[in-house]
Chain A
Amino acid sequence: MLSIIFLTVILLYIIGFYYLVTTRNLIRILIAMEVLTKGLTLTLIYVGKVTGQMATAQSMVITLIIIEVVVLAVAAGIIINIFNHTDSLDVRKISRKKE
């Protein structure tokens, strides 16, 4: 019997990847990355619980959260700069303007 937590993790990955593929808005791409990271966090905690090494899992989750926030802050700054240059957040429009 598959664990319900494992199933939830897979569903979160599917939702995140689907969102990442279908959206064209730059901010929404970041949100999709966040959804994927939620799945990863739950995976780490689940594996920590199954293997009985919750301390290691927690320290890895803390590292993951810190990296996630830093990446997000830099990406948000880049998005704001892109918006100031191109007046758009649509990925297709931005690439068209570049041509």
Chain B
Amino acid sequence: MNDIVLYILLGLLVVSAVLTAMIKNTLKAVIALALASAILTVIMFMMKAPLAAVFELSVCAGLVTAIFVSTISLTDSPDPDEQQVMREKKRLTRYIFLPIIIIIVAGILLIAQPALNFSFAAPPAVQSTVQDTIWHTRNLDIAGQIIVILAGVFGVVILFKERLKK
């Protein structure tokens, strides 16, 4: 029963990713992306990764969507001619090639199935909690994360400072 729900959710994840790629309106594409994030959160909960799932829900479905929506609203004066041309040109190519590529790759995977039997030579599983792993095993990651966040903050500040000066 649990497996069936998981498979349905995986299917929905792929469908929402395809919707993200296909929808012409950028704002609607972002909402489809947020839907994909929410579905991925449920999948992660089902695969017993609750902490990462909470991060995914709050950051990817929430913050990332907010960033995208604000970017779209700040850049929202598209050239109507440009939009019209892109719409006419890309309608057919967009809808035809993706299913063809997916079918080809699925066929290749089915043919090459015996060669793709990955063996995960796992060391004996150490029973540790996420907190232990983050704070003891991978504690340098936290320093890296702090540096990355600071770099991002300074980057955004510098970008908008230039703009204010002008």
Contacts and interface: CB of A to CB of B under 8 A. Distances in A.
B42 interface: no
Contact of B21 (A19, A27, A48, A55): A19
A34 B49 CA distance: 20
A18 B98 contact: yes
A84 interface: yes
Contacts of A45: 43-44, 47, 49, 52
Interface residues on A, range: 35 or more
A8 B86 CA distance: 30
Contact of B75 (A2, A47, A80): A80
B5 interface: no
Contacts of A59: 130, 133-134, 137-138, 141
Contact of A48 (B49, B60, B67, B156): B49
Given A42-B40, A51-B125, A78-B159, A4 B7 contact: yes
By DSSP majority rule, is chain A's interface helix, strand, loop, or mixed?
Answer: helix
B107 to A, nearest CB: 12
A42 to B, nearest CB: 7
6 contacts: A31-B20, A34-B64, A59-B133, A66-B145, A77-B155, A81-B162
Name the 10 nearest CB pairs between A and B, nearest first: A70-B152, A52-B125, A77-B159, A51-B122, A61-B52, A55-B133, A19-B21, A83-B75, A74-B155, A58-B52
Interface of B: 7, 10, 13-14, 17-18, 20-21, 26, 29-30, 33, 36-37, 40, 43-44, 47-49, 51-52, 55-56, 59-60, 63-64, 67-68, 70-72, 74-75, 77-79, 82, 86, 90, 93-94, 97-98, 101-102, 105-106, 109, 113, 116, 120, 122, 125-126, 128-130, 132-134, 137-138, 141, 144-145, 148-149, 151-152, 155-156, 159-160, 162-163
